[in-house]
Every structure is written in C-alpha cells, then in structure tokens.
A and B are shown apart, each in its own frame.
Chain A
Amino acid sequence: MEKMLLLGDEALAQGAIDAGLSGMYGYPGTPSTEIMEYVQRSKTAADRNIHRKWSANEKTAAESALGMSYAGKRSMCSMKHVGLNVASDCFMNSAITGANGGIIVAVADDPSMHSSQNEQDSRNYGKFALMPTLEPSNQQECYDMAFHAFGMSEKYQIPVLMRLTTRLSHSRSGVLPKQPLEQNELKLPEDKRQFVLLPAIARKRYRILLANQEKFEQESESSPFNSYHEGSDKTTGIIACGIAYNYLMENYIGTQCPYPVLKISQYPLPRNHIEKITSECDTVLVLEEGSPMVEEMLKGYLGSCLKVRGRLDGSLPRDGELNPNLVLQAVTGKDVDVLSVPQVVATRPPKFCNGCGHIDAYNALIEVMKEYGDGHVLSDIGCYTLAALPPFQAINSCVDMGASITMAKGAADAGLFPSIAVIGDSTFTHSGMTGLLDAVIENTNMVVMILDNSTTGMTGGQDSHAVDRLVSICEGLGVDKDHITRVVPLKKNHDEMVKLIRQEINYKGLSVIIPTRECMQTLKRKTKANK
C-alpha cells in the first residue's frame, strides 16, 4: 500500500475508519477539529455509511458515541481538551459502565494555549477515570493506535482515551495504512443492566474497573508503543512521553543517545520499565508535554530518594509546550546561539475579517455602553471574543462556552445594571440555552445578544446547529416574544441597532437581540463553490 500524507488528526481518523468505525461524533475545537472534518470528507466513510455529523456539544457527542458502543459498534468522539470538561460527566461514568463496541475518546490538548483558554493535560483525566490512555508520538502511531485502542476497548470492555497535542494534531507526515477491518454488527451487551449505574450495579462495575487496573498495566508493559532503549551512561535515565520522544531524538540524529531512554505512549505507566530505569539510573529526567504528571507520580508527595528532574525542579519550564531546544538544554545543559527578533517587528494579533457582521453589532453596543462605562458586557468564546482587543475593548469576560449568559445573570442578580451577555450562535446551542432557561424562570433583567453568523466561525466554519432555529429556541424556552428581536448588523442599520439595544436595556426583564448576518468566510467559500 502507498503512504498517505496526513495530519496527526487525519491519521487518527483514517485509522479509526480502517479499524471498523461506525460512528464519529464531536464538537469542533482547535486542535481537534480536523479529526471529524477528515471523516466527513472521506470517501470510504461515505461508502461505509459511517455516521459523521457534528454534535451540539462535547457531552452530547460523548454520550452518542457511548450509545453506539452500547449497540455493539465501534465509535469515536473528538474534542479539544476543554471540551472534555464538558463531556466529563459522561467520560468518568463511562469508565464504570464500560463499553460494548470499541470506543475511543479522542482529545487534543493545546499546550502553550495557541487557541485556548488553558493548557490542561487530558492524561490526568485518563488517570482520574482509571482508563487506559494512549499518547501517540507520531502520525503513524496515531493511525496504528486506532486499531490497538478499539481492540483493547473491546477486550476489556472499557473506553480508551487518546490524547494528542497541537503539534502532532497539526503536523503532516507519511502514514502507511493497513488492511481495513469490517464494521461490527449491531449487538447489545450480554448483561442488559451493564449500563445502569444504580448504586448496587455501579459498585459492582467499579470493582471490575479496579480489578482491571493490573491488566491495563500489563498491557502497557507489553505495548508496542512503549519501549526501552538501553544506554551506557547511567548517570541519567530519560522518560520521554508522547511527542517529547521526538524532541529528544532530534538531538541524536545520526548518533546514539548515551542515556537509557524509556519511551511512553501508553498508560497506566508500564511498571516493569519504570522499575528498570529508576533502579539502574541515579537521576531520572522526565520529558512530558503538558503537566508534570509522570514526574509527580515518580516523586510522590514527600519525594523519594530517587532524583527526579523535569518541570517541577526547573530543568524544564513549568508551563508551555516543549521543543527540541528546551529538551537539549535539559539533557545536556547546552544552549544554542540564535539570532534575535529585530525590534521593528510588531505583534500581529488576530482580528475580525473585513466586513464581519460582529464589527457592526459591536459598534452599536459600544455606542450605547458609553453612557454606562466599561464593565457591563459578559461575553463568551468565538470570533466575537476578539472584541476584547483594541480598538473595541468592548467585552469583560470569556471563560467557558455558555458562561456569558449565566455570568450576566449572576451579575444582574448581584445588582449590575445593565447586564449584557454576548454569545455566538454555535456557543448558544452548545451551552447557552440551559443558562437562558435559568434567566427565563426569573425573568432576569438582562439583555442577551446572540451574534448569529450562521456558522461555527472561530474553528473554521463548521455547520452550526443554530441556523434558522434561534428565534424558535428562545420562544420555546419561554422568552417573551415581544423581546426577541432580529436585526441585520450592517453599517446602514447602526442607528436602528443602537435604538433597539437602548430600548431593551430599559425594559425591566429578559430580552434577546439576534444580529444575523452570514460569516464572510463561509460566504466567500459558497460564492467560490457556486462559480
């Protein structure tokens, strides 16, 4: 077979397809988005009739994937690291229900926060849930691990967490595919009460999970993705997790690393290898992308007699992603001389696209808010968050998806007037609707602006569940019809928008304003495709 040139995300997607995937679920989020997008583009996925539609959010995605597993088929859900917070209720409990058909929870972390609110390390969730976790170091492993993960998932009836990081998700390389497998037939679990987590059943299932830990450890010990490389210089042993292994090897091209190296791509940690490296080396250096998880485990709370180096003792920075130079310095103490960035170079932050409707909506809001001063606008995550930057500086929060409406409610409850929430259409259907219901129940005195560009813009324009549904959703949730207003955010409608926002601020109750105009990027793409 011929090599395919694939991003890490795409290699995982192709691997899952070839390993008999029947259902792909997910919610977009950098750097995980391309997993689903690849399955959606794939001809094989279409031929095999694989389910491949976006879900409303990560929780609904994970639950649907679990449902497909319940029905005996292989499923995968994808999300960015903070998406796993949203899906975590399902995720934690699915370790206890276990799986029927194989299930992969694919999570892409974003160390250094290239496009994220934080850099949490999903391996901690794997450990928390007592779930086997895979951390590929290259694109070929992304592909191969899909087979491995589905196999293990069905063998032990357990979902498997697959953790990628930005650099692997978004880096392309040659991948050699395997002979594809057939999809599973529909087959319900033998124990029809397996998925019923009533306390009595949950306790039993939890003990099964605990008893399986030893087996998961044995799997890690014999895993083809964990490997021990002997070294003659035993002053230091190096544990390199996931992509950090490449950064280490980058420094030994054409030569041999003199130190023993333990490559880790499967958790729980392989006890045999860990025992070997800690007993034969005086010091152990841990290279891991994200949090110092392995380092902390080796150190323990009191710190054992073993000397452990890593992110906690300053050998490596405590935060941010690794790179070959940081690793070189940690291993050898060597630094390289490099040119510096000339002073003339100005920062170039991201900004609204020319003609974006968000600009017009914000211009109107900014004009109204001049009377009240800065501090009244609780916002959310999406392209519209760019209004935090100059020249707009129009919003005061961006925390987690949906938090605009609920934070504005809390602030209004505290007496803030006016209290304004600004949220995007996809964020609204992701997590804004439930918060709006809270506000409906109390008829909270606040204005919610749903900036509707009819797409999930920030992540590249995926279909939005909100298209053509926003008014009916708000009505259905119980917002007073007279206080749900659509406007078209255009320069020529500026005065109309200003008047409307003023009027709804002065209404003592809950109002929803929906500025609606298509995203310039999706519009451009459509016009191009129609040519």
Chain B
Amino acid sequence: MKKDIILSGVGGQGILSIATVIGYAAIDSGLFMKQAEVHGMSQRGGDVQSHLRISDREVCSDLIPFGGADMILSIEPMESLRYLPYLSSDGWVITNSTPFNNISNYPEIEDVMKEIARIKNHILIDADDIAKNIGSPMSMNMVMIGAASDYLGLDFGRLEKGIKFIFGRKGDEVVNKNLEALKTGREFTGNFLKK
C-alpha cells in the first residue's frame, strides 16, 4: 500500500489540519508516514502545499516525485491546478470549488472549472457550502477529507478516530460537527460519481 497526496491551498486556510487527521489515521493503522509542510513566508496568504506520504514500508523521500502523486487534495480550486505536474496519470484531483480570491489577477472561475473538468479523475465539491449547511463553516477541511476518504486507503473509522483525537479537547459539540462534516463529504463523493 502506498498513497502519495499533495495537499494544497492558500496560507491561512489550514491545510495542515487535514494532514494532521490523515496522518493520525495512518500512524494508527500501523503505516509509515512522512509529511513535508510549508512554513514561513508563503503562509502569509501565498500558495501553500504539503506532501503527505503514507506507505506500508519505510518512506524514503520527504518530497513526492513529479508524476507520482495518487491524489491532489485541494481546498481551493485554482491551487489544485498548480500542482498537476505531481499527479500520476491515474491520480485523482479532489478539490473544493469555492475560490479564495486574494489577488487582483485571479482568473475567471469558469476557466478554472474548465481546466479541472479536463482532468481524467476529478471530484469538485463545494465544501464551504456543505460546511455552512451543517452549521459548521469551520469544518470545511473535514468535508474535504470526507470527500477523499474512499481513495485514501485508510479505514473510515480511523479517520473518525483521528478527528476525535485532534478535536477532543474542544468538546463533544466540535467533535460531532467535524464527524458530521466528514460523513457529509463522503456522501457527496458517492453521489458525485454516480452522476
């Protein structure tokens, strides 16, 4: 088993909480893991990425090779495209559809969507909207994990356990909202692919 995942977004959006939950689930499953993050300059609203590598044997490189990623999991649509050189030919792009527009030359969103639609395996999800609808806008990242959950090679229960572990000290209500976000994201993907 090997899953190489590029996480992407904009500095401040919190892609690292995604890495933490998936990482917890991976370690809990007895797998090996390496996760390279971006700290520093670009965290001030620039583009940020994290390389998350999970495997049943020791992981060598901290960076995913170009053409090697099984998935790009992005919480911003344009950012999902920035890392396409990392995607393997049968890899998945799973991305939030709500743009984070903090630059003056952000492209027309239709053009971004067109490019995403050209990718063989893609899932486009309005995670912001879904999180709002379940009354927990902060849980957008967990919706994204849910949307990707069937392709992570991890037990769904382990992801739930990861959420309980990471949000546990914030109380039951926060935990339950995030669990609901995870589940809703997963259901969305099921329906998206049926279409």
Interface on A for B, CB 8 Å cutoff? 3, 5, 7, 30-31, 33-34, 114-115, 167-168, 170-174, 243, 246-247, 249-250, 253, 323-325, 328, 336-342, 344-353, 383, 386, 458-460
Quick one: which of A30, A34, A338, A350 contacts B45, CB cutoff 8 A?
A: A350
17 A-B residue pairings within 8 Å (CB atoms)? A115-B42, A243-B62, A247-B60, A324-B63, A324-B68, A325-B67, A328-B65, A338-B87, A341-B85, A344-B112, A345-B82, A345-B107, A346-B103, A346-B106, A346-B107, A351-B102, A460-B39
Q: In the complex where A114-B40, A324-B63, A348-B46 touch, is A174 in contact with B27 (Cβ < 8 A)?
A: yes
Check A246–B62 contact: CB distance below 8 A: yes
The interface centre, meaning the residue of A3, A115, A168, A249 with most chain B CB atoms within 10 A of its CB, is: A115
Check A325–B59 contact: CB distance below 8 A: no
Check A324–B67 contact: CB distance below 8 A: no
Check B60–A250 contact: CB distance below 8 A: yes
Expressed in whole angstroms, the minimum distance between the Cβ of A79 and any Cβ of chain B is 14
Check B66–A350 contact: CB distance below 8 A: no
Q: In this assembly, does B41 line the interface, its C-beta being within 8 Å of a C-beta of chain A?
A: yes
Quick one: which of B36, B65, B112 contacts A325, CB cutoff 8 A?
A: B65
Q: In this assembly, does B129 line the interface, its C-beta being within 8 Å of a C-beta of chain A?
A: no
Interface on B for A, CB 8 Å cutoff? 10-12, 23, 27, 32-47, 51, 57, 59-63, 65-68, 78-79, 81-82, 84-87, 102-103, 105-108, 111-112, 115
Q: In the complex where A253-B60, A325-B66, A351-B44 touch, is A171 in contact with B107 (Cβ < 8 A)?
A: no
Q: Complex formed: what's the CA distance from A7 to B81 in Å?
A: 27
Check A344–B111 contact: CB distance below 8 A: yes
Q: Which residues of A contact B102 (CB under 8 A)?
A: 348, 351
Q: In the complex where A341-B84, A348-B103 touch, is A167 in contact with B62 (Cβ < 8 A)?
A: yes
Q: In the complex where A172-B23, A341-B84, A341-B85 touch, is A386 in contact with B62 (Cβ < 8 A)?
A: no
Closest 5 CB pairs of A and B: A115-B40, A30-B40, A350-B46, A171-B62, A250-B61
Q: Complex formed: what's the CA distance from A168 to B61 in Å?
A: 10
Q: Complex formed: what's the CA distance from A167 to B40 in Å?
A: 13
Among residues of B, the one whose C-beta sits closest to the C-beta of A249 is B60
Q: Complex formed: what's the CA distance from A386 to B27 in Å?
A: 39
> What 11 new A-B contacts, CB under 8 Å, besides A250-B60, A323-B66?
A5-B33, A171-B51, A173-B34, A340-B85, A345-B78, A350-B42, A350-B44, A350-B45, A353-B12, A458-B41, A458-B44
Expressed in whole angstroms, the minimum distance between the Cβ of A321 and any Cβ of chain B is 9
Expressed in whole angstroms, the minimum distance between the Cβ of B62 and any Cβ of chain A is 4
Check A340–B65 contact: CB distance below 8 A: no
Among residues of A, the one whose C-beta sits closest to the C-beta of B19 is A172
Among residues of A, the one whose C-beta sits closest to the C-beta of B109 is A344
A-side interface mostly: loop
Q: In the complex where A172-B34, A174-B32 touch, is A345 in contact with B81 (Cβ < 8 A)?
A: yes
Check A247–B63 contact: CB distance below 8 A: yes
Q: Which residues of B contact A337 (CB under 8 A)?
A: 67
Check B81–A247 contact: CB distance below 8 A: no
Check A459–B40 contact: CB distance below 8 A: yes
Q: Which residues of B contact A386 (CB under 8 A)?
A: 44
Q: Complex formed: what's the CA distance from A460 to B40 in Å?
A: 7
Expressed in whole angstroms, the minimum distance between the Cβ of A329 and any Cβ of chain B is 11
Q: Complex formed: what's the CA distance from A351 to B37 in Å?
A: 19
Q: Which residues of B contact A30 (CB under 8 A)?
A: 39-41
Q: Complex formed: what's the CA distance from A324 to B47 in Å?
A: 22
Q: Complex formed: what's the CA distance from A341 to B103 in Å?
A: 18
Among residues of B, the one whose C-beta sits closest to the C-beta of A172 is B35
Expressed in whole angstroms, the minimum distance between the Cβ of B29 and any Cβ of chain A is 13
Q: Which residues of B contact A325 (CB under 8 A)?
A: 65-67
Q: Which residues of A contact B51 (CB under 8 A)?
A: 171
Expressed in whole angstroms, the minimum distance between the Cβ of A55 and any Cβ of chain B is 20
Expressed in whole angstroms, the minimum distance between the Cβ of A486 and any Cβ of chain B is 25
Check B41–A114 contact: CB distance below 8 A: yes
Expressed in whole angstroms, the minimum distance between the Cβ of B170 and any Cβ of chain A is 11
Q: Which residues of A contact B106 (CB under 8 A)?
A: 346
Q: Which residues of B contact A346 (CB under 8 A)?
A: 78, 103, 105-107
Q: Complex formed: what's the CA distance from A243 to B63 in Å?
A: 10
Expressed in whole angstroms, the minimum distance between the Cβ of A214 and any Cβ of chain B is 34
The interface centre, meaning the residue of B36, B42, B86, B108 with most chain A CB atoms within 10 A of its CB, is: B36
Q: Complex formed: what's the CA distance from A338 to B45 in Å?
A: 27
Q: In the complex where A344-B107, A348-B46, A386-B44 touch, is A250 in contact with B65 (Cβ < 8 A)?
A: yes
Q: Which residues of B contact A348 (CB under 8 A)?
A: 10, 45-47, 78-79, 102-103
Check A344–B115 contact: CB distance below 8 A: yes
